[in-house]
Amino acid sequence: MRQNDPIPAIEAAHARHLVELPFGDTQDFADADRGFLGTLADPRIVDEDGRIVWDAAGYGFLAGDAPTSVHPSLWRQSTLAAKHGLYEVVEGIYQVRGLDLSVMSFIEGDTGVIVVDPLISKETAAAALALYREHRGDRPVTGMIYTHSHLDHFGGALGVVSKEEAAARGLPILAPAGLVGHAVAENVYAGTAMARRAGYMYGAALARGPQGQVGAGLGQTTSTGHPGIVVPTHEVTTTGETVTVDGVELEFQMAPGTEAPAELHFLVPRYAALCMAENVTHNLHNLLTLRGALVRDPNIWAHYLTEAIQRFGDRADVMFASHHWPTWGRERLVEYIGIQRDLYKYLHDQTLRMLNKGMTGAEIAEDFAMPPALEKVWGTHGYYGSVSHNVKAIYQRYLGWFDGNPARLWPHPPQALAERYVAAMGGVDRVVELARTAYDDGDLRWAATLLDHAVFDSPGHEGARALYADTLEQLGYGAENGTWRNFYLSGATELREGTFGTPVATAAPDLVAQLSPEQIFDAIAITVDGPRAWDLDLRLDVVLTDLDRAFRVTLSHGVLVAVEQPPSGDAQATVSLAKPRLLAMLAGNRDAPGVEVAGDAAVLETLLGVLDPGDPGFEIVVP
């Protein structure tokens, strides 16, 4: 694939960053290297079929000064995040970092070890556990903690322990209340769109290198092995609750509705160590992840950080999280939690102040400046979240997509708008000419806007596509944010080479299996092709034979509704099947055995005939 070098405007911007940013502060490097015990001889992790699911060696290029094709601040962050191996946090607590997007921690107990947040894939988690044991002895796993409901904090559980062994040994698995429901729902309802967009966000289709993917800020990227879940045996519900596992007391703080809907922090008094899950990391986190999600609440996030300082601040000598490196020293860790608290609260409060003056999200984002005292702390920089998209997310959380201006209430959609703009500007060739001038002047944002219109007007216009790809590439080179860079470079890649679809699916079968019957029916309802189902009026009883539960499923007005009730005589058909078979149906497998239909069999066929699953290859940068 053809790639360009950075244009002078990008090189000049990077030169300024090198002067203006606090590169003299190297504390993060000392912390990221502290306690290093060793790493894998070959840091490539493969699955059963020999497919590489994690390749830390691929980031070997991250050394020395930043090349001009990477923002020097992002280069610095990636250099830190790419470090991999087993690290001692304190004697008794260890972390494997750099072998997945997230960090897996180990808390040693009286007889074995408690695993905290077993990564995304069973392969990476198993490799992390093996690395730990290589250095710390063959200790049995005596407990597991999932700090929150995101896949990178429980997905590799099956690499730590099998479901059978966990059940047989009565292994305690602790998690914040509601974790499983949130975990599966998040990746299913809007899952197809999120997974396609996550491909852009993490740069899964990009080559790694100075002109490609260099990291995602929060970690390098996501592993691509096999996720699953071993369901928790104990839900933590209350702040102040203590649980003793393998002789180690754990004192919990609930932090729901922060970075994840179900999240917790905990203190380990034995080691004077505080785990802050994903609420205190070494970057500005997302309030709205670019792959798409519900907007998070920075105000409650800040509240729980204040509470953490109050509850634990005089009892912790080290703080660790499930991304990035720890912070040592009571004074330093309390100060850092305070800085992170102020970061999220400043974003929240100032965005509200400005929107109450009538500014829109885009206007606030453009004007927003962080306090210089926060800005000079590396860990406040937007490598994963950004001030720009977080401000817009806060606006969205409070006021939604509409900015109140009636001209923007009902504009044409992108393609119709593009046709009109392009015609008004004198045709697509003229638009490309204007974009070329903007590109040469370094106004890449305007060039991208023009070329977006050009390509949505004339998707086959080679000159527009090529310049659009070049423009997105330069925007990528200029981005401090890892996920912005990945978005830009992914867009450039698709313009040059065509769609790469969804490189990494997130709805793993083992997770989908955790859906409740109600969630499965919701997920089926989402796939009903409304217009094709407008005139249908169906009534089925669905008996889930393995659960001994029955649902009345109706389809009318294009709406599928399921209500739990015993089968009754007035259904057009009664369908008996086990839950896994219903899940297979959701996944599009209609013909496998295991489905018994009494009554009018055509009714089920009619229903299945109007299901319309998502498209994992939908277009993004072209219409």
Smallest separation (angstroms) from Zn ion to the CB of 84 = 17
Distance CA 285, CA 277 (A): 12
User: Which residue, 102 or 350, has its beta carbon nearer to Zn ion?
Assistant: 102
Q: Does 342 bind Zn ion (CB under 5 A)?
A: no
For the beta carbon of residue 207, count every other beta carbon within 10 angstroms.
13
- 264 versus 585: smaller Cβ distance to Zn ion: 264
How many Å apart are CA 524 and CA 551, to the nearest integer? 14
> Which region among 37-45, 59-67, 152-160, 309-317 touches Zn ion (by CB under 5 A)?
152-160
Considering only residues 90 to 119 of the shown chain, the ones binding Zn ion according to CB under 5 A are: 102
Closest contact distance (angstroms) between CB of 176 and Zn ion is 14
* Number of residues engaging Zn ion in binding (CB under 5 A): 4
Q: Classify strands 537-544 and 573-577 as parallel, antiparallel or unpaired.
A: parallel
Q: CB of 148: closest distance to Zn ion in angstroms? A: 7
The identity of residue 118, as a single letter, is P
Task: Name which of 77 and 474 has its Cβ closer to Zn ion.
Answer: 77
**Shortest separation between residue 217's beta carbon and Zn ion, angstroms:** 12
- Only one of the segments 9-17, 58-66, 75-83, 144-152 lies at the binding site for Zn ion (rule: CB under 5 A); that segment is 144-152
Using the rule CB under 5 A, give the single segment among 86-94, 146-154, 177-185, 353-361 that binds Zn ion. Answer: 146-154
**Comparison of 511 and 585: residue with beta carbon closer to Zn ion:** 511
Kindly state the smallest distance separating residue 150's Cβ from Zn ion, in Å: 5
- Of 544, 556, 548, which is closest to residue 610 (Cα–Cα)? 556
Q: Which is nearer to Zn ion, 69 or 102 (CB)?
A: 102
Give, as one character, the DSSP assignment of residue 295: P
369-377 own/partner pairs: CB under 8 Å, 24+ apart: 370/343, 370/346, 371/342, 371/346, 374/339, 374/342, 374/343, 374/346, 376/22, 376/25, 377/339
CB of 156 to Zn ion, least distance (A): 12
CB closest to Zn ion, residue no: 152
- What tokens does 429 get? 């060739």
> What whole-number distance in Å separates Cα of residue 319 and Cα of residue 328?
6
Residue 582 contacts residue 610 (beta carbons within 8 Å): no
Smallest distance from the beta carbon of 323 to Zn ion, in angstroms? 6
Q: Looking at 32-40, 121-129, 143-151, 401-409, which segment touches Zn ion (CB under 5 A)?
A: 143-151
Report the nearest approach of Zn ion to the CB of residue 189 (Å).
20
User: Among residues 103 and 584, whose Cβ is nearest to Zn ion?
Assistant: 103
Alpha-carbon 124 to chain mean position: 17
Amino acid at site 389: H
Beta carbon nearer to Zn ion, 252 or 384: 384
CB 184 within 8 A of CB 512: yes
Measured from the CB atom, is 97 or 461 closer to Zn ion? 97
CB of 284 to Zn ion, least distance (A): 14
Judge contact between 466 and 193, C-beta under 8 A: no
> Judged by CB, which is closer to Zn ion: 322, or 327?
322
E strand or H helix that includes residue 402:
none
Report the alpha-carbon distance of residue 132 to residue 198 in Å, rounded: 30
Q: Which is nearer to Zn ion, 325 or 551 (CB)?
A: 325
Least separation, in Å, of the C-beta of 95 and Zn ion? Answer: 14
Q: Shortest CA distance to 158 belongs to which of 490, 511, 435?
A: 511
Q: Read out DSSP for 186-249?
A: HTTTTHHHHHHHHHHHTTTTSPBSTTSB---SSSS----S-------SEEE-STT-EEEETTEE
Site string for Zn ion, 269-288 (x = CB under 5 A): ---------x----------
Handedness of CA 77, 80, 83, 87 (dihedral sign): negative
Site membership for Zn ion, residue 152 (CB under 5 A) = yes
Looking only at residues 478 through 537 of this chain, which bind Zn ion when binding is defined by CB under 5 A? Answer: none
Whole-number minimum distance, CB 219 to Zn ion, in Å?
8
Shortest CB 205 distance to Zn ion, Å: 21
Distance (Å, whole) CA 81 – CA 98: 6
Task: Select 263 or 278, whichever has its Cβ closest to Zn ion.
Answer: 278
Candidates 5-13, 83-91, 149-157, 347-355; binding stretch for Zn ion (CB under 5 A): 149-157
Residue 251 lies near Zn ion (rule: CB under 5 A):
no
Which pairing describes strands 537-544 and 242-245: parallel, antiparallel, or unpaired? unpaired
Contact letters (x/-) for Zn ion, 50-89, by CB under 5 A? ----------------------------------------
Is the CB of 153 or the CB of 453 nearer to Zn ion?
A: 153
Rounded to 5°, angle at Cα 320 from 179 and 72: 105
State how beta strands 248-254 and 44-46 pair.
unpaired
Summarize as ranges the residues that interact with Zn ion (CB under 5 A): 102, 150, 152, 278
